[in-house]
Structure 1
Amino acid sequence: MDKSERLLHSSSFGAAAAAYAEHRPDYAQAAVRWAVEPAPGARVLDLGAGTGKLTATLVELGADVVAVEPDPAMLTELRRALPTVRALPGSAEAIPLPDASVDVVLAGNAMHWFDMAVAGPEIARVLAPGGILAGLWNVMDDQVDWVAGLARVSGSAAIGPRDTPADWRAETAEMHLPKTGVAARFGSPEQAEFPHGQLRTADSLGATLATRAGMLVMPEQERAATLGRIRAFLASRPETADGEFTLPMLTAVLRVRRL
């Protein structure tokens, strides 16, 4: 994805901020604990915080957290849901915090949108020495047969790179840092995956997938056709045809330490 295409996709969420807040999953608490584990009692920055899905989990765990989000509509949803959290406009490339002011920087389903050539040094600037940078992604467990089938019929716009475990491992193995010349600022990356799940119905799972960037930028006719295929598939499977079911997921984490 080139720079202009990445910008188009990353800026698409604001128009669907309310749906994003309603339908996107939270993060497995065990995954968040592992992400911040090397820095107990940490000051945490949730970077690219969106509507506050990861922020809320951090609050539940008692973290001292500040959230930074570039999209005004997403930031409005975050502030509505979490009025006691300090939430600031800003981006990974221009973080509105002082030098060495946080111990952990987390990004939930957001790091792939960062321009790491700029964001890498900026993240290193706000991290205290020895601080932690971690990206978290909720991915679908395609070892489950019906989930693998859903991925096949949905197309890459709905379930694409980083959305299944094997793809996530390949996409994030180097966290883009060696490619951007900032690898010297961070240690070797560690990966871990934690079981997770989201209670869904066929309609709400379709609504969740409709908040993916690839879906949001689609022409309306193509988007409607894709959602139609998804609904038809879910209606055809005994696991998903009637009532509520659990969407099998993993929260995948990539963690590095600031040198």
Structure 2
Amino acid sequence: MDQDERLLHASSFGAAAASYAEHRPGYARAAVRWALEPAPGPRVLDLGAGTGKLTATLTATLAALGGEVIAVEPDPEMLAELRRSLPDARALPGGAEAIPLPDASVDAVLAGNAMHWFDMAVAGPEIARVLAPGGVLAGLWNVMDDEVEWVAGLARVGGSAAVGPRDTPAGWRAETAGMHLPKTGAPARFGSPEQAEFPQGQRRTADSLVATIATRAGVLVMPEQEREATLGRIRAFLASRPETARGEFTLPMRTGVLRVRRL
């Protein structure tokens, strides 16, 4: 994906902010705990926070520790949805390339389904700047478990725009293994990246799963006719499967985490 295409996809979510908030899954609590495990303290930045899916999990996880969560999001409509759903959250406008926080002001920077949108050549030094020594940078991605047969079928029917390279475990592992993480940043260096995965499930109906897929960037930027055809194929597939044809079902998922420590 070239720079212009990346920017087009990254800026597509605002128009679907309410649907994103309603249908996108949260993050496995165990995944968040693992991401934060090496952090030297309880001050956490949710970077590219969207509508606050990860912010909510972080807030609940850190409540017993008296920790502080700060959400930073560049899209005004996504930020407004975050503030509506989490009125007590500290939520600021800004992006990974220009973080509105002082130097060494947080112990961890987490990004939920967002790090692949960052320009890491610029964001890497910025993240290093706001992280305290020993701090953690971690990206989290919710992916569909295509080791389950019907989920693999859904991925084939939906196509790469609806179920992209980061949306299944094997694709996520490959994408993040090659992801450009900050090796150096004035004045910080980062250690070797680590990966881990944590199972979770999301209760869905066929309609709500289609609505979830409709909030993906690859679908949001499609021409209307192509989008409707893609979602129509997915609806027909879900109607044909005994696992998904009637009522609620559990969508098997994993939360993948990529973490690196500021040295």
TM over 0.5: yes
Aligned to 2:18: 18
Structure 1 residues not aligned, in runs of 5+: none
Structure 1 position 209 matched with structure 2 position 225: no
Does residue 46 of structure 1 match 2:50?
no
Task: Find the counterpart in structure 2 of residue 57 from structure 1.
Answer: 57
Instruction: Give 2:229's match in structure 1, choosing from 193, 212, 225.
Output: 225
Return the alpha-carbon distance in structure 1 between the equivalents of residues 207 and 215 of structure 2: 13
What corresponds to 2:191 in structure 1?
A: 187
Aligned mates of 1:85, 1:10 — CA distance in 2: 23
Partner SS state of residue 156, structure 1:
helix
Q: Contact 2:184 / 2:190 at 8 angstroms: preserved in 1?
A: no
Question: What count of residue pairs does the alignment treat as equivalent?
Answer: 258
Letter in 2 for 1:34: W
Q: Pick from 86, 104, 107 the counterpart of residue 103 of structure 1.
A: 107
Q: Is the 8 A contact 1:175 1:189 kept in 2?
A: no
Aligned ranges 1:110-189 → 2 under 5 Å: 110-177=114-181, 185-189=189-193
Distance 2:194 2:238 in 1: 35
What CA deviation, in whole Å up to 9, does each residue of 1:217-248 have, x standing for no partner?
00000000000000000000000000000000
Deviations 1:79-123 (A, max 9, x none): 011111100000000000000000000000000000000000000
- Contact in 1 for aligned 2:70/2:90 (Cα 8 Å): yes
How far has the Cα of 1:39 moved from its partner?
2.0
Residues 39, 132 of structure 1: 8 Å contact kept: yes
Which one is further off, 47-56 or 155-164?
A: 155-164
State the shift of 1:174 in Å. 4.1
RMSD across aligned positions (CA) = 1.4
- Give the corresponding residue for 2:9: 9
1:92 to 74, 93, 96: 96
Structure 1 CA distance for aligned equivalents of residues 212 and 32 of structure 2 = 22
Residues 143, 255 of structure 2: 8 Å contact kept: yes
CA 1:185–1:199 in 2, change beyond 3 Å: closer, same or farther? Answer: same
Alignment partner of 2:142: what SS?
A: strand
Q: Is the 8 A contact 1:189 1:256 kept in 2?
A: yes
Equivalent of residue 244 in structure 1, options 230, 248, 255:
248
Give me the TM-score of the superposition, normalised by structure 1.
Answer: 0.97
SS at match of 2:255: strand
Cα distance change, pair 238–34 in 1 and its aligned pair in 2 (3 A): same
Cα separation, 1, equivalents of 2:90 and 2:74:
14
Deviation at 1:59, TM superposition (A): 1.0
Confirm or deny: 8 A CA contact 2:125 2:184 kept in the other structure: no
- After TM superposition, give the deviation of residue 185 of structure 1 in Å: 2.0
1-side partners of 2:99 and 2:33: how far apart?
Answer: 24
Aligned partners of 1:69 and 1:90 also within 8 Å: yes
| 1:194-226, Cα deviation, whole Å (9 max, x unpaired) | 001110000000000000000000000000000
The alpha-carbon deviation at position 181 of structure 1 amounts to 6.3
TM-score (norm 2): 0.96
Identity of aligned residues (%): 84
| Distance (Å, rounded) in 2 between the aligned partners of 1:221 and 1:17 | 21
CA distance 1:54–1:144, change in 2 (3 Å): same
